[in-house]
Structure 1
Amino acid sequence: MALTLGYPSAERVTLCATDDVAARLEDLQDVLAQGPGRLAFTNGVHVRALLDHAEDPRWPELSGAVRDELGPVVAEAFPMRSGGEVVGVVTYHLQPGSSLALDAEDCQLVTDLVGAAALDHDGDHEWGAVAGTGPWGDRSAIHQATGMVMVQLRVDATDALALLKAHAFTSGESLAATAHHVLDRSLDFPTTDTGEGGAP
């Protein structure tokens, strides 16, 4: 199980993941910008998906990556609501053929209770209220690394973050790990002068 706030936004942060499979599933959805969690957040509905090449054509890249890294996984994503607003998603992962202990209606009720308990009811949600600590520390590192890539390549934030996500995906590591490599200078994205004037 994983609990993620601010799903499609730049402030997206996974508050907890019960195991490595849950953590990697959330990271892949973030890197690839697709999956049942994003759909549950956007549409405010429960989404069930078998992530396998042959079974769910809605997210071919995610399905393939999950199957290759984790094996076929059933994902059950529930929107987490507070004060009438969808603020996050709780995603459960299961083996194919298994089911949740509670029915979907009860799972949604529990998810909404978590949302109400985790956030204020005034609708003024400050995702970065404790930035630099716990899971927000990783998100802060991603923001800092994005800024460094912007400077290195002279690109905007969207392109810089896309490059970080592409590197994370191709290297098979989490986005946070890639960000930390940029911050400790073990990874950079240098430009190469290809003009006719030769090497700089």
Structure 2
Amino acid sequence: MAGILQRLHHGGPALVEDCARTLGVDGLAVSALLEGGVREVVLADPGMGARFEELQFTLGEGPGPDAARTGVAVLVSDLRAVLPQRWPALLPALAEDRVGAVFCFPLHLGAITVGVLTLARETPRPLNAREMDDALVLASALTSLLLNGDGQPLEKLAVMSSHAVLRQAVVHQATGMISVQLGVPLSEALLYLRAHAYSHHRPLGDIAQDVVARRLRFAPPAPASGPTAPEDPKDDVS
């Protein structure tokens, strides 16, 4: 962990994988809280960490959003023991995944929460004392990095992994396009995008790419008195 903390401020190959191995987990992700409470994933392994974060981002619920909202760590040592009503959309979506335990640590200083560190493991079991200590140390270091005011922390984190993480830039672009198409606020447009991804059992990033590429267009419901045919019915969503 001491070596990882040194590399955290200077970058280096395989940082995500080394962090996960040191903490005894199979997946790791770091998200930053942007204006309006939006969580932007800036670092994730290409496997379990990225998959779990994309599910949370698509569905808008889970231990990560809870930790970001409350500023309190959410430690789930056995996801199978969680009551269905806690995360009614996320838990069924994880049924075919191998995630057995998830630990989300808010990155905060006092009342200010700037992000979330998410750890996931395949085997359901709690973090031991050493793993918990290391996770808290890493969370503290990440908090300091995200609070750095030179405008570079997110870029530094994003280039530390050799793999691309979530396609959230295209999600934001698609959200803006849907907002214009439907004449609704951005927050409501994101809900439409999430609902479409969930109902079609597809990743949010894939749906967003279809919107940006104009293969998919969201159209407002036609007036009952005189419906107007969409420009391309097979690609419009009302």
- For normalisation by structure 1, the TM-score amounts to 0.78
What amino acid is aligned across from residue 164 of structure 1 in structure 2? L
Q: Residues 114-133 of structure 1 correspond to what in structure 2 (within 5 A)?
A: 114-120=142-148
Q: Does the residue aligned with 2:217 lie in a helix, a strand or coil?
A: coil
Map of 2:233 onto structure 1: none
Structure 2 counterpart of 1:62:
90
Q: Per chain length, whose mean CA-contact separation is higher, i.e. which structure has more relative contact order (CA < 8 Å, sep 6+)? A: 2
Deviations 1:40-93 (A, max 9, x none): 2222222112333x53342122111112x4145211111123576321111111
Q: 1:84-105 CA deviation, whole Å, 9 max, x = no partner?
A: 6321111111123344463323
| Counterpart for residue 202 of structure 2 | 173
Give the Å deviation of 1:136. 10
Q: In 2, Cα distance between the equivalents of 1:109 and 1:174? A: 32
| Structure 1 position 91 matched with structure 2 position 104 | no
Whether contact under 8 Å (1:152, 1:190) holds in the other structure is: yes
| Residues 51, 136 of structure 1: alpha-carbon distance in 2 compared, 3 angstrom cutoff | closer
For the residue of structure 2 that corresponds to 1:70, the secondary structure is: coil
User: 2:183 pairs with 142, 154, 176, which one?
Assistant: 154
The Cα shift of 1:16 comes to: 1.5
Going from structure 1 to structure 2, the CA distance change for 1:11 and 1:138 (only over 3 Å counts) comes to farther
Distance in structure 1 (CA, Å) of the matches to 2:170 and 2:67: 26
Conservation of the 8 A alpha-carbon contact between 2:50 and 2:165:
no
TM-score, scaled to structure 2: 0.67
Once the 2 structures are TM-superposed, how far is the Cα of residue 169 of structure 1 from its aligned partner? 1.9
- Rate the CA distance shift 1:109–1:171 in 2: closer, same or farther, 3 A: same
Distance 1:14 1:185, change over 3 A: same
Residue type at the aligned position of 2:214: R
Number of the residue aligned with 2:136: 108
Instruction: Report deviation, 1:31.
Output: 2.3
Which residue number in structure 2 is paired with residue 31 of structure 1?
58
The share of aligned pairs that are identical, in percent, is 30
Deviation at 1:29, TM superposition (A): 1.5
Write the deviation string for residues 151-199 of structure 1: whole angstroms up to 9, x where unpaired: 2222232221101011122233332322221111011113453433454
Closer/same/farther in 2, CA of residues 119 and 174 from structure 1, 3 Å limit: farther
- Structure 1 residue runs of 5 or longer lacking an equivalent are none
Q: Report the CA distance shift for 1:137/1:100 in structure 2 as closer, same or farther (over 3 A).
A: closer
2:73 to 46, 50, 56: 46
SS at 1:195 equivalent: coil
Root-mean-square deviation (CA), in Å?
A: 3.2
Give a deviation string over 1:9-55, Cα, whole Å, max 9, x none.
Answer: 45421111113321121122222222111222222222112333x53
- Residue type at the aligned position of 1:18: D
Amino acid in the other structure paired with 1:6? L
Rounded Cα–Cα distance in structure 2 between residues aligned with 1:137 and 1:41: 18
Is 1:76 paired with 2:103?
Answer: yes
- 1:21 alignment partner, one of 48, 68, 88: 48
Compared CA separation, residues 198 and 87, structure 1 to 2 (3 A) = closer
Partners in 2 of 1:55 and 1:194 — Cα distance?
44
